[in-house]
Amino acid sequence: MLYVVAWPVLGEADDTALRRLRAQYHPGEADLIGPHFTLVFGAAADREGELRTALADVTQRPFWFQIERIVRSDLYLYAEPSDGAAELATLHEVLNPISGLEPFEPHITLGLFRSATEAEQVARIVGRQNLPMTGRVEELALLRRSGDALDTLASIRLGA
């Protein structure tokens, strides 16, 4: 499976907070990949050439984002950007020419919980303790997941 992610550049305290939250509440994924915005999710391997070309053609400049809220969706906990969401959505559209069934909501996944109640409680605590967070997106990467391994196939600096 192929993925395209946007790597957030955060201040040390914010980066540490997101990594700790992911390690505590999403340990399987946290061991594999740090905080990120997923722009292409689970694409077939035969799309690699198309995705490499699309990445090479990206004209987006680096941009700032701000996370002001933590939300729960079913059993997942997400950090959603306000500022920067439009830029992430545009990148998603460029890299996914055929729309999916679900609308794209830019986010960083923080955790997966056993119950919605637990996720909601953690969302309130995390929001009070850690927000707002401000960061910058400067790089995108094309990744391939094979079992428990994640390989970087290509990366681009925005505006380069």
Map the chain to HEC letters: CEEEEEEEEECHHHHHHHHHHHHHHCHHHHCCCCCCEEEEEEECHHHHHHHHHHHHCCCCCCEEEEEEEEEEECCEEEEEECCCHHHHHHHHHHHCCCCCCCCCCCCEEEEECCCHHHHHHHHHHHHHHHCCEEEEEEEEEEEEEECCEEEEEEEEECCC
Nearest CA to 122 out of 111, 134, 132 is that of: 111
pTM reported for the whole predicted model: 0.94
pLDDT tens-digit map of 103-152:
899 999 999 999 999 999 999 898 888 899 999 999 999 999 998 899 99
Output the six-digit token pair for 53: 């070309």
pLDDT given for residue 160 in this prediction = 66
Who contacts 148 (Cβ-Cβ below 8 Å, separation ≥6)? Answer: 32
pLDDT tens-digit map of 4-53:
999 999 999 999 999 999 999 999 899 999 999 999 999 999 999 999 99
User: What fold is seen in the domain 2-157?
Assistant: Cyclic Phosphodiesterase; Chain: A, (3.90.1140)
pLDDT tens-digit map of 67-78:
999 999 889 999
**Distance of alpha carbon 77 from alpha carbon 112, whole angstroms:** 6
What ranges do the domains of the chain cover?
Answer: 2-157
Q: What percentage of the chain carries pLDDT values higher than 90?
A: 85
